[in-house]
């Protein structure tokens, strides 16, 4: 009996395992759903703010603070002290007139304040509204932005302003503008796309904070591509001609070092837009140049200058007793100022070898007596500035706590230990009854001794290389007599400490050059104000651009501050952002690279009684060249009296 061989075992045919495919399908569907959701979250608006809220609706008719029925006409003249040799504010050399950027507009609107472009409107902060663009479009993650432009926009020469001009201007500033600006922007904005003549798209780098990027591209001044290509002009070269802009004013006359006249363009394309209603009311703006501040004030008294924003306490206190004021022909007002004051003071050049030691800087700071200066030279009209965000709820106080403490702790070991254990740095106090405060003098002497600068037999401080401790103040020769007196008294105290303190007075052109080149030990200057986070903070305080940034007169750099700014840019809520700014204020004050001086909580203005302004001045702009207006009847009356020509 033969046995059958067992059949080899066979596997039952099984259905293919569809689970991986199903999983992939689910993932694909999920991603598609997310993409669709992201596509649905495209934001289109008539303006932009980082947190998405706008005070003015799409159908707003004008800003709340303007007089929409303000008459057009008349002129206003202001004084400038010093010289100018250019009408191009973007040139790397020379002195440009302070209003020479008045010709240019941006996609979202700005205003001109003291020669600097600032955001609109002046009664809100962090909000921007359409000017050259009528609509802004961006995804929720702000990875790109599209601007839809107004087809009616025109340059002053009548040629259309298009998206090609916007792209050209963006690239021109990168190629021929400030290096610190270009370096920062190139890293964050890698691509620009002109979709059509009136649509432009900007792409932002992956993996970085989107903070301030939309505002950055939205506020680039727009130049005429055709004009630059036809003339061969460069953005970085001084010239007395101005490229055509699209703004409400054009250049009328230039008399070098004497006068610049701007006139309102009657054919201005945007005069009827809601953003412009009640604004740009003067037919003519004149800037009159004078050799010194005394001559400028005499010109105001004579009526050659008709508006004066007063910056000198001595003149404000005692200078306005001339007959025209007493008769009411010249008005004198103190108007509220809600802006954060610029961080001005005596700036240390951290590139100077002797000033790299913080103890030396602290000792030199102790030589400045704010209380005596304010009482004896400034008629007690100023308050002392303590903070980089003065008079806001973001000023650092005491020891870090709450949200600020949590933010600092999140930065790790880069934070110096003393930031947590020492109270925030405050300016020293001095006795007002005498220039030299002996208590502060003793503190300063010890700091200098500890830093290796003992006093020799001749009363001068030298180091172990027998080098004198020298501090050179560079001063513009056209500075006000009051500022010169303040510096002279400060220097007197430093000499009393054994410091070889010098004052180097130079003309305006040399002063500009030396300021750009940081050819000084100390200079009266400072940093622009800020009250929110943004990539501009890197130009002020970032290490990468510190060697050459014109916005960083101290040449300050710090890995701690670099990390702090980067973390600030990554904050996602307003509370976190405010905590980061408070931490930044604490860190900057800790580094001690500027001796804080004074600030004024009000605008001091004097003007001939031919101008009018809204009853309420908005917090962020005095607006004398923006929303004030001319009263023709009052002007005729003053001319009839012989007060004005």
Q: Does position 27 have pLDDT exceeding 70, yes or no?
A: no
Q: Does position 6 have pLDDT exceeding 50, yes or no?
A: no
Between 529 and 26, name the one with better pLDDT.
Answer: 529
Residue 34 DSSP class = H
The partner residues of 146 in beta bridges, in order of sequence, read 137, 201
Strand stretches in 424-499, DSSP E: 470-476
Phi, psi of 252 (to 5 degrees): -105, -40
Q: Does position 67 have pLDDT exceeding 60, yes or no?
A: yes
CA distance 21 to 179: 52
Between 191 and 32, name the one with better pLDDT.
Answer: 191
Tell me the per-residue pLDDT of 71-90, one tens digit each, with 9 for 90 and over: 999 999 999 999 999 999 88
According to the model, what pLDDT value does residue 95 have?
A: 87
Q: Does position 449 have pLDDT exceeding 90, yes or no?
A: yes
According to the model, what pLDDT value does residue 40 have?
A: 57
User: In terms of Cα–Cα distance, which of 632, 624, 635 is closest to 279?
Assistant: 624
CA distance 465 to 471: 17
Query: What's the length of the chain?
Result: 645
According to the model, what pLDDT value does residue 4 have?
A: 39
According to the model, what pLDDT value does residue 119 have?
A: 65
Domains annotated on the chain, with CATH: 44-250 (3.40.190.10), 253-265+281-339+601-640 (3.40.190.10), 346-599 (3.10.105.10)
According to the model, what pLDDT value does residue 181 have?
A: 86
**pLDDT mean over 50-63:** 94
Residue 16 DSSP class = -
Tokens of 364: 């030199």
Tell me the per-residue pLDDT of 278-311, one tens digit each, with 9 for 90 and over: 999 999 999 999 999 999 999 999 999 999 999 9
**CA torsion angle 585 589 591 595 (round to 10):** 140
Sequential DSSP letters for 583-601? HHHHHHHHH--EEE-EE-S
Residue 207 vs residues 41, 142, 253, 563: alpha-carbon distances, Å: 20, 12, 49, 16
**pLDDT mean over 542-568:** 95
According to the model, what pLDDT value does residue 69 have?
A: 97
User: What confidence tier does 615 reach under pLDDT thresholds 50, 70, 90?
Assistant: very high
According to the model, what pLDDT value does residue 508 have?
A: 87
CA distance 180 to 576: 27
According to the model, what pLDDT value does residue 30 have?
A: 53
Between 5 and 132, name the one with better pLDDT.
Answer: 132
Tokens of 565: 């700014």
According to the model, what pLDDT value does residue 1 have?
A: 40
């Amino acid at each position: 009996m033969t046995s059958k061989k067992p059949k080899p075992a066979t596997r039952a045919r099984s259905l293919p395992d569809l689970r991986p495919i199903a999983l992939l399908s689910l993932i694909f569907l999920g991603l598609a759903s997310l993409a669709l959701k992201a596509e649905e979250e495209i934001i289109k608006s008539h303006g932009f703010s980082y947190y998405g809220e706008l005070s003015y609706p799409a159908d707003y008719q004008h800003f709340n603070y303007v007089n929409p029925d303000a008459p057009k006409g008349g002129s206003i003249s202001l004084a400038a002290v010093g010289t100018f040799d250019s009408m191009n504010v973007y040139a790397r050399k020379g002195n440009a007139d302070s209003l020479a950027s008045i010709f240019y507009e941006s996609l979202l609107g700005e205003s001109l304040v003291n020669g600097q472009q600032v955001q609109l409107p002046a009664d809100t902060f962090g909000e921007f509204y359409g000017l050259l663009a009528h609509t802004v479009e961006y995804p929720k993650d702000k990875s790109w932005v599209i601007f839809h432009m107004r087809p009616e926009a025109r340059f002053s020469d009548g040629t259309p302003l298009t998206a090609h001009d916007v792209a050209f201007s963006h690239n021109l500033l990168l190629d021929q503008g400030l290096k610190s600006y270009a370096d920062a922007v190139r890293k964050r904005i890698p691509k620009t796309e002109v979709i059509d003549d009136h649509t432009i798209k900007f792409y932002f780098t992956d993996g970085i904070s989107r903070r301030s990027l939309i505002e950055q591209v939205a506020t680039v001044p727009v130049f005429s591509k055709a004009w630059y290509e036809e003339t061969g002009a460069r953005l970085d070269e001084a010239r007395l001609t101005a490229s055509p802009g699209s703004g409400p004013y054009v250049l009328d006359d230039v008399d070098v070092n004497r006068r610049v006249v701007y006139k309102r363009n009657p054919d201005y394309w945007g005069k009827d837009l809601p953003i412009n209603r009640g604004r740009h009311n003067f037919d003519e703006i004149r800037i009159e140049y004078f050799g010194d501040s005394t001559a400028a004030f005499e010109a105001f008294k004579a009526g050659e200058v008709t508006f004066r924003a007063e910056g000198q306490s001595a003149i404000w206190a005692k200078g306005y007793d001339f007959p025209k004021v007493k008769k009411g022909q010249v008005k004198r007002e103190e108007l509220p100022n809600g802006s954060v004051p610029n961080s001005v003071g005596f700036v240390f050049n951290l590139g100077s070898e002797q000033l790299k030691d913080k103890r030396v800087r602290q000792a030199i700071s102790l030589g400045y007596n704010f209380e005596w200066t304010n009482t004896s030279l400034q008629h007690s009209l100023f308050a002392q500035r303590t903070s980089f965000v003065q008079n806001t709820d973001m000023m650092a106080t005491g020891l870090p706590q709450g949200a600020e403490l949590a933010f600092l702790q999140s930065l790790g070991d880069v934070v110096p230990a003393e930031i947590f254990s020492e109270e925030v740095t405050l300016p020293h106090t001095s006795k007002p009854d005498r220039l030299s405060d002996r208590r502060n003098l003793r503190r300063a002497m010890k700091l200098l001794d500890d830093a290796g600068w003992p006093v020799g037999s001749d009363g001068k401080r030298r180091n172990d290389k027998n080098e004198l401790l020298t501090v050179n103040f560079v001063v513009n020769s056209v500075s006000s007599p009051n500022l010169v007196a303040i510096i002279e008294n400060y220097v007197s105290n430093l000499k009393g400490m054994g410091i070889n303190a010098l004052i180097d007075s130079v003309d305006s052109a040399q002063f500009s050059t030396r300021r750009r080149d940081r050819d000084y030990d100390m200079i009266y200057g400072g940093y622009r104000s800020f009250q929110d986070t943004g990539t501009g903070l890197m130009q002020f305080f970032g290490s990468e651009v510190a060697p050459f940034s014109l916005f960083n007169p101290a040449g300050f750099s710090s890995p701690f501050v670099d990390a702090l700014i980067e973390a600030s840019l990554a904050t996602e809520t307003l509370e976190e952002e405010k905590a980061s700014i408070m931490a930044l204020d604490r860190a900057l004050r800790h580094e001690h690279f500027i001796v804080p001086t004074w600030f004024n909580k009000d605008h001091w203005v004097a003007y001939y009684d031919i101008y009018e302004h809204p009853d309420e001045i908005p917090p962020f702009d005095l607006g004398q060249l923006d929303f004030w207006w001319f009263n023709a009847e009052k002007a005729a009356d003053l001319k009839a009296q012989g007060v004005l020509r």
